[in-house]
Amino acid sequence: MYTFEPTMGQDKASLYRDLHEAAQALTADEPDAIANMANLAALLWQFLPDLNWAGFYRVVDGELVLGPFIGKPACIRIPFGRGVCGAAAASATTQRVEDVHAFPGHIACDAASRSELVVPVLRDGAVIAVIDLDSPLPSRFDPDDAAGIEAIAGAMAGRI
């Protein structure tokens, strides 16, 4: 049994430090990418409040394909450049969207989603996946969330 518990009421820097440590520990001895993405999705879901979707899209043959996640069933294939995930993959940069309704081409997998954070995972300079977090709250994600997830994406690039 794994018992990674976020401490209640901790500040965001501590939360992301704990999350990062848990991600490292959970994936350290496991070479299977799917298993690691599945546990990482569960960990993000457990540690980060106010999410309605947390998971991965993987780059397969030049498009994004749904990977392990927690949340409602989602769009399976997303071309580079489409939606928030496609924008992150095409630009290899984090997309932090305060209001998804104002994002041109946003793909609504869950009508409840109001804000979104998508962080590319790069290996040897190429995007191999994106981490997608959705929230039913507008402006749920701030620059500290983006930096925290980017650090995890960087650390996990060789394990997913």
Dihedral sign computed on CA atoms, order 24, 30, 34, 35:
negative
74 binds ligand SME (CB under 6 A): yes
Three-state DSSP state, 110: coil
Q: Give the nearer residue to ligand SME in terms of CB position, either 86 or 120.
A: 86
Q: From residue 27 to residue 66, what is the string marking binding to ligand SME with x (rule CB under 6 A)?
A: --------------------------x-------------
Structure tokens at 140: 């749920």
Query: Measured from the CB atom, is 94 or 113 closer to ligand SME?
Result: 113
Residue placing its CB nearer to ligand SME in the complex, 11 or 50? 50
* Residue 106 sits in the site that holds ligand SME (CB under 6 A): yes
Q: How far apart are CA 102 and CA 136, in angstroms?
A: 15
- The SS3 assignment for 68 reads strand
DSSP assignment, residue 51? -
CA 22 – CA 126 distance, rounded (Å) = 25
For 1, 11, 100, the CA distances from 19, given in Å and listed in that order, are: 17, 12, 26
Is 89 a binding residue for ligand SME by CB under 6 A? The answer is: no
* Nearest distance in Å: CB 14, ligand SME: 28
Distance in Å, CB of 123 to ligand SME, minimum = 21
* Interatomic CA distance for residues 76 and 127, integer angstroms: 18
Segment contacting ligand SME by CB under 6 A, of 13-21, 38-46, 73-81, 151-159: 73-81
Q: How far is the CB of 58 from ligand SME (least distance, A)?
A: 13
Q: Which token pair is 61? A: 């043959």
Binding site for ligand SME (CB under 6 A): 53, 74-75, 78, 83-86, 106-107, 109, 113, 116, 132, 134
